[in-house]
Amino acid sequence: MTLQLTVPNMACSACGETITKTVLALDPAAQVETDPKTKLVKIESQQSETAIKEAITAAGYTIA
């Protein structure tokens, strides 16, 4: 499943790394691309959209 999420409070590359680590902790085989300039996160994962969104939110990021 491919997700494209907008994360308004992803401010820098360190934020992107945190989001990437959060998703990989949930699904080690996931492919994650983050772009702090556009605030977009693209995720290819076998996990549910709900589980991924909950993990990112728990890490302190909002999803638009």
Give the closest residue to 3 by CA, choosing from 55, 49, 56.
49
Domains in the chain: ranges and CATH:
2-58 (3.30.70.100)
Determine what percent of the chain is predicted with pLDDT higher than 90.
100
Q: What DSSP state is assigned to residue 44?
A: E
The residues that bridge with 27 in the sheet, in sequence order, are: none
Which pLDDT tens digit goes with each residue over 12-23? 999 999 999 999
- pLDDT for 10: 96
Per-residue pLDDT averaged across 32-55, rounded?
A: 97
